Amino acid sequence: MLAANKIVLTPEEEKEIEITDFGLGNLENEGLQIVVYENNESYCAKELVLLPNQVCSEHKHPPRGNQPGKMETFRCLFGQVWLFVEGETSNETNRFLKNVDSNYFKAGKSIHLLPGDQYTIQPDTFHWFVSGEKGAIVSEFSTPSDDATDIFRNPNIVRM
C-alpha cells in the first residue's frame, strides 16, 4: 500500500515496520501497521497503515512525568479514516465494530478524514480509528511516543 501510494521507505525502515494485532489474534479486523521515521525527546513522525476496514483499538496516551501526554495530529494521505474521540456519541460507531469486541469502544465523537484532512487529538484523550474499504495511510505527527505507557480500554491487549 505504501509503495502503491509512492511513499518510499529505506531498506532499514522496511525492516522495522511494526505489525501489531495488540495480542488479540485478529489482525485483519483489529490491528495496525506502523512505520516510525523519527521518535526523539522533542517529536515523533510515523506512517500508520490500516488494512481495509481495520480498527485500531481504543486507547489514550496518559501524562508521563511533567508531560501532559502525547498530542498527535493525524493527516490522511490515502483512503479514508473515521477517528473517534471522547465526546458526543455518533450513531456511526456500531457500523464499524462488527468484527471486534465492541464492549471496549466508548469514544463516540466521529471525525471523518479524507486525503488532505487532518485532526489533532489532545493528550490523555481516549480515541480509536478505522479505515474504509480500501484501507488507509495516515501520517502521524506528535510529541514523543512511548507505546509502553499507552492505556487501552481492552484489558486483554498486549502492547510493548
- CATH code, domain with 127: 2.60.120.10
143 within a domain of the structure (yes/no): no
159 within a domain of the structure (yes/no): no
78 within a domain of the structure (yes/no): yes
pLDDT band at 148 (very low <50, low <70, confident <90, very high): confident
In terms of residue numbers, what domain contains 37? 3-135+148-152
158 within a domain of the structure (yes/no): no
Q: Return the closest-CA partner of residue 153 out of 65, 32, 52, 22.
A: 22
What pLDDT does residue 89 have?
Answer: 79
Q: Which residues contact residue 146 at a Cβ distance below 8 angstroms, ignoring those fewer than 6 apart?
A: 61, 64, 70
131 within a domain of the structure (yes/no): yes
Highest mean pLDDT among 46-55, 91-100, 151-160: 46-55
What pLDDT does residue 94 have?
Answer: 81
- Average pLDDT, stretch 119-141? 97
Farthest-apart Cα atoms in the chain, separation? 43
pLDDT greater than 70 at residue 52: yes
100 within a domain of the structure (yes/no): yes
Give the cell for residue 98: 462488527
pLDDT above 90 as % of the chain: 87
160 within a domain of the structure (yes/no): no
Phi, psi of 145 (to 5 degrees): -105, 135
> Mean pLDDT in the chain?
94
Q: What is the DSSP string of 43-88?
A: -EEEEEEE-TT-EEEEEE---BTTB----EEEEEEEEEEEEEESSS
Number of structural domains found in the chain:
1
- Average pLDDT, stretch 111-117? 98
Query: What residues form DSSP beta bridges with 119?
Result: 74
141 within a domain of the structure (yes/no): no
pLDDT greater than 80 at residue 145: yes
- Average pLDDT, stretch 108-121? 97
> What's the pTM?
0.95
With H, G, I as helix, E, B as strand and everything else as coil, classify residue 103: helix
